[in-house]
Structure 1
Amino acid sequence: MEFFNDIVGGENPLKPSLFELIAQEQLRDLLQPALKYVLSVFAQRYPRYLLRIVNRHEEFYALIMLFVERHYLRQHNASFSENFYGLKRRRRPLFETERAKAAVGGIFPEENLRRREVWCSLLLLVGLPYIRAKAQDYFEDLGGGIDSDLIDDAGGRQIRALTEETWRGRWRRLYKKLYPWLNMGFEHWLLIYNVAYLFEKTPYYRPWLSWIGVDLRRLGIDDYRAESLAAQRSSATTPPKSPFDTLRHIFRNSPRFLLDSLKLLLPTTIFFIKFLEWWYSPSSPARSLTLSSSPLGPSIPPPALLRPHPQGLKLDGRKYGKCPICGEGIKNATALPSGYVFCYRCAYEEVEKSGRCPVTLLPARVWQLRKVLV
């Protein structure tokens, strides 16, 4: 996202806009449901290996993001989504020296994140979303957000009887009442900081950034120059002297290479998933090509209509759209198991009285009636 660096706004062109910050947060929030969807699809095929991971998805995702975010914070001074949008975290100085920095150039070593800032950022990037997700799951397990009319009276009385007397039941009822208000207050708190950041009343768009003493900046030309120099130094290492050194070099650098390549793999994977979603959609023009060349052959045609019984109701093929029983236009079209369509009232009365289709005289039941949506 280097094009954001060309946006000059206000006195400091490296200060990101609120829209960039919200965009990187949305990207971070979309990673977990996307990973959960992919795991759920593969778990249907390999339930023995992946079903437990899907059931403990929050813990699995938090563990993965702990390694990913730790790598990006240590190597790039930014989280994964922040680095993807061309942002970085900076230890905020006591006094802003933008003019002096512009005159001297380069990156001040004091701006790099220390061990304390890295672990505090990890706690807020991984721990806080995990706690909020578990709190939401617990609220839903208690029946939060579900209309009481959707639960039958017997089930509701049983739940109230189990949770009315014990201290655990009282805590559950209290949590169920307080959680929506606490969650709403938390969201309003974040909204207030967003508005204050938008009108430049605070340099932090999130309150916890001020607690750990960091703010977010756009990557400047000095940052890209430093990254290119670091890449040149890593590529200019002495060649390995033996195959053992080669394997050790590969195993040492492969995790770092994999984590750094996520910036490229993520948009490629999203494009590939959207392409497959379009390719296999019913309205896709490419679906006709796959059906014509499918090894399973063309699609199966619908079965032929059953012949009328000689003693059954006579049909006139010229009266299309007319009910064979009442002879009028079909109202609330309903199909019988034999495939013939009648008015719902006519079909219901006929099947309830005789227990068979009036045309084919085949057995039919009331619960076998199917409404036809035209």
Structure 2
Amino acid sequence: MAEGAHITSAFSHERPSFFEVLAQESLISTIRPALKHAIRVAAESRPERFGWLLRHFDEVYVGLHLLLEQQHLHKYCATFSEHFYNLQRHCPGSQSEQLPTPIFLKSLLFVVLIPYVKQKLDDYFENQRHLLNTYATNKNVPPLTKAFVAIYPYLHTTWEGAILAYQTAYLFKKSNHHSPFLHMSGARLINDLDTEPIEGQLLQPWDQLSGSEKVIHVIKKTSSVAAGCVTSGLSVGVFFVQFLDWWYSGETNHAPITALPVPDPPNKEDEDEDTFHFSVCPVCHRTRSNDTALSVSGYVFCYPCIYDYVREYKMCPVTKYPAQTDHLIKLYISET
């Protein structure tokens, strides 16, 4: 049994576990929304200074991501998330301590640039689909746009299906690559083995140790085991929390904005004229301050009025469509 455990441990140091590769894949995806939120807060407080960062966030992010991954691939032969989980990219047959140039460049391509292009295509598809749904009878929509909106969901399904197929094969140990992009880069992931002596390892026979040396060895061994348990527990815990967040996200998300009907224009004959005046808030019926639009309906309110209303009632005060505070869009109206 001890021999089997030793063999299993040695194998796991060569080939990362399925949970390790999934955890490192999801790590970088959590950085993007966090950075975007920080930039949004800065842009809302100082739009004249930081507004351009939010308007060109995709380009700013891909530039920073490229610098980060280039540094880690050059220094550690691993991406940022792979190095965080003590993984390393290995080129079979290569004896160099650094990645060969072709594999280095292909790694940057598949880790940074391809996801950037995919993100831009996703955004373009959502925008064009929204336009087609809004102006379904518009004859001026280019045929190529209609073809793209019709074909892209199948391309996206193929993309996700290929990733799922590789992950399934890796889970059942039928493949050494958990991702088609890692496979195309020509590298594979291995554990970053540490050749230094393990802390707490017994360097002399137990019988030759003095009483104080035995006590020190037991303390070191206990500390080493405890540290390993804490590290493993944190890794598994982070992955489990992310899994639960993904599992329940589909049940808690509201319907997308494009699924809601277009609200009817305000009827001034039935309502007070001031209610729908271009400068009057429909909630407080006073001249608006800090103009904020609610994306589910298009109406503009005072920010304090609409924020408090949506937070309490979870809907638009005019159309009664379901809404969240994430649907609030701050407007910057020129004084000229």
Counterpart for residue 214 of structure 1: 187
Task: Give 1:109 deviation, angstroms.
Answer: 3.5
Q: Distance in 2 between matches of 1:42 and 1:186?
A: 35
Query: Which of 107, 113, 132 is matched with 1:121 structurally?
Result: 107
Map 1:318-357; keep pairs closer than 5 Å. Answer: none
SS at match of 2:14: coil
**Partner letter of residue 199 of structure 1?**
F
Q: Distance in 2 between matches of 1:37 and 1:8?
A: 43
Q: Distance in 1 between matches of 2:11 and 2:40?
A: 48
1:92 and 2:92 matched: yes
Counterpart for residue 198 of structure 1: 171
Counterpart for residue 36 of structure 2: 36
Task: Give 1:7 deviation, angstroms.
Answer: 11
Q: Distance in 2 between matches of 1:77 and 1:7?
A: 26
Q: What TM-score results when the alignment is normalised by the length of structure 1?
A: 0.48
Gaps of 5+ in 2: 1-5, 198-233, 235-284, 286-316, 321-336
Q: Cα deviation per residue 1:60-88 (whole Å; 9 max; x = unaligned)?
A: 10000111100000001100011111111
Asked if the contact 2:15/2:190 (under 8 Å) is kept, the reply is: yes
Asked if the contact 2:110/2:185 (under 8 Å) is kept, the reply is: no
Flag the 1:196–1:10 CA change in 2: closer, same or farther, 3 A.
Answer: farther
Q: Distance in 2 between matches of 1:50 and 1:15?
A: 44
Task: Give 1:175 deviation, angstroms.
Answer: 0.5
Counterpart for residue 150 of structure 2: 177
Q: Distance in 2 between matches of 1:81 and 1:210?
A: 17
Counterpart for residue 229 of structure 2: none
Task: Give 1:184 deviation, angstroms.
Answer: 0.8
SS at match of 1:220: coil
**Partner letter of residue 162 of structure 1?**
N
Gaps of 5+ in 1: 1-5, 94-107, 164-168, 226-266, 268-336, 338-366
Identity between Structure 1 and Structure 2 (%): 29
Task: Give 1:124 deviation, angstroms.
Answer: 0.7
RMSD of the TM alignment (CA)?
A: 2.9
Asked if the contact 1:91/1:111 (under 8 Å) is kept, the reply is: no
Q: Distance in 1 between matches of 2:119 and 2:176?
A: 28
Task: Give 1:140 deviation, angstroms.
Answer: 1.1
Asked if the contact 1:92/1:111 (under 8 Å) is kept, the reply is: no
| Poorly superposed stretches of 4+, deviation over 6 Å | none
Q: Cα deviation per residue 1:246-284 (whole Å; 9 max; x = unaligned)?
A: xxxxxxxxxxxxxxxxxxxxx9xxxxxxxxxxxxxxxxx
**Partner letter of residue 203 of structure 1?**
N
Q: Cα deviation per residue 1:155-190 (whole Å; 9 max; x = unaligned)?
A: 443xx2221xxxxx1110010011111101110111
- Bigger Rg, which one: 1
Flag the 1:36–1:7 CA change in 2: closer, same or farther, 3 A.
Answer: farther
Q: Cα deviation per residue 1:102-142 (whole Å; 9 max; x = unaligned)?
A: xxxxxx83363122221111111100110110000100110
Task: Give 1:12 deviation, angstroms.
Answer: 4.8
Task: Give 1:211 deviation, angstroms.
Answer: 2.5
Q: Distance in 2 between matches of 1:13 and 1:85?
A: 12
SS at match of 1:217: strand
Task: Give 1:20 deviation, angstroms.
Answer: 0.8
Alignment length (residue pairs): 197
Counterpart for residue 140 of structure 2: 162
Query: Which of 188, 193, 197 is matched with 2:161 structurally?
Result: 188
**Partner letter of residue 170 of structure 1?**
P
SS at match of 2:71: helix
Q: Distance in 2 between matches of 1:79 and 1:29?
A: 13
Asked if the contact 1:43/1:51 (under 8 Å) is kept, the reply is: yes
Counterpart for residue 127 of structure 2: 141
